Chain A
Amino acid sequence: MHIMEGFLPWQWCLVWWIIALPCLLLGIYQLKRVLAADRDALPLLGVTGGFIFILSSLKLPSVTGSCSHPTGTGLSTISFGPWITAVVCAIVLLFQSLFLAHGGLSVLGANIVSMGVVGPLAGYAFYRLLRDTSVNIYITVFLVTAMADLFTYITTSLELALAYPAESGGVVSSFLLFLGIFAVTQVPLAIVEGIVLALVFKYIITLKPDILIRLKIFSKEKINAARNEI
C-alpha cells in the first residue's frame, strides 16, 4: 500500500522523512552490531529483504492513491526487531520504486514510516508479549504478521487523511473514509498473509531451526516443542 509519487504535498513528504530518519539511523546502528556479532545473519537479512520485495509487489488496486498488498514485514520483525526492519524496508521500497515503478521517491519517507516503522513496531510489541508465554509459535507468527499488516494500513490511511482532510469533519472523517476503503481488501489480506508466514515459519523450523536459536528469536525448548508437533 505504497503511496504514489507526487501524491503528497511537499510539506507532508518532509514531515514523514523527518520522522523516518532517526528510525533508520537507529536501525543502521543495530545492523552494524548484529553483523559484527554474527556474519551469518547477512544471508537471512538478504532473503527477508527479497521476500518483502516479492510479497509487497503483489498489488491490488484500492481507491486511494495507493494500493493494497501484503507487506511481508512480519518475518523480518521477528528475526531482527523493528529498527533493522525499517532499514530493510527502506531498501526494498527504493528498489520497488526503481524496479517496478511502484511507490515513489519523494513519498519514500511516508512509506517507510507506515510499512517500515509503525507496522513492525506493532508486530514487535505482539511478539514480545507472546514470546515467553506458552502460546504456540505459529499463532505468535500469525498474530505478529497480521498486526504488522493492519497497522501499516492504518498509518497509510492517517498519512493520506492528514494530507487531504475532508471538508466536513476534517481529518477524522477522511481518515475513516480511507480506512473503510482499505479495510475491504486489507483485512482478508492480513489474515491470508498471517497464515502464509506461519506456514513459512513451519518450513524454517523443520529444515533450519539452528538460526532461529542462534539469533535468540525463540527459546530452544519452544522450538523443540514445535518440531515435535510436526
Chain B
Amino acid sequence: MSAIAKQSKAAGKKRSKSQETWRRFKKNTRAVVGLGIVAVLVLCAVLAPILAPYGPNEQNPRNRLQGPSAEHWFGTDELGRDILSRIIYGARISMSVGLIAICISLIGGVALGAIAGYYGGTADNIIMRCMDVLLSIPTILLNISIVAALGSGLQNVMIAIGVSSIPGYCRIVRASILSLRDQDFVEASRAAGASDFFLITRHILPNCMAPLIVQATLRIGAAILSCASMSFLGLGIVPPTAEWGSMLSTGRDFLRDAPHVCIFPGLAIMAAVFSMNLVGDGLRDALDPKLKD
C-alpha cells in the first residue's frame, strides 16, 4: 500500500504548475460555484440564438409589462419584449464590455504602474501626476469626454471605460512594486544577469497579483454599470440593442407598476459581478503558494 501511496505522491509531484493551480482551485467550493455561474453566462452569450425563447427585439404591444409567467419566465417589458431573451442576448454585450474594458485598464494600469514604481524619479512623477489628473475628473464626465472625442459606439465606450479606470490599477501596482523593488530576491536576480523587463515580469508582478485580481473582478460590475449609464445618456449602446444596463435604466420608469423589468437585469448584473468575484478570490488563493493545501 505504501508503494502505491509513494507512487501517487511521485506522480503528484510531477504535475505542472497550471494543473497544480487547478487542483487547488477545485478544492474551493465557492470558487467552483462562481466558475459555474461564469460558465453559464458565457454559454448564454455564445449560444444566445439557440437558448433564447424569443428574439431580443420581438415586440408584442398587447403583452407589455406582464409579470413572470410560463410563457415569459421573466415577464415582458414596456414594448412587450421577452426579458429572459433580452437578458440572454444582453450577456453578449455586457460580458464583453466588462471583460474588454477591464483588460484595457489592466494592461494600461499595470504597465504604467510598473514603470512608475520600478524606475521612480521623473518617470514616476510624470505618470502619477497624469493619473492624478485623470482621478480628479469625475468618471462619468471623463467617459463622456472620451466618447465625445472618439465618437459613440460600443467599441469606444469600452475604451472610455477602460481608460477611466486605469488610475486605480496604476496606483495599486505602483504601491506593490515600491515595496517589492528593493527585496533581496529582486536584487539577487539582477545579480544573476536579469534585465529590467525580465525582473518586472517574472519576479515583481507575480508577487502583486493578489490585489490586482481582487480589484479586477470587483471592477467588472462597475464597468457594466458605467456602460449602462453611458447608454442611458445616449452615448453608448443605441436603444433597441439588448444590454443589461440599459434595460435597467429604461425599467426605472416602471419601477412601481412592474418591478420585474428592473429586477431581472439587476440580478443578471449581480450574478456576473458575484461570480467573477468568487472566481477571483479562488484564483488568488490558488495562485498563492503559501496557502498551499
| A, B bound | no
Chain B positions within 8 Å of A, measured between CB atoms, are: none
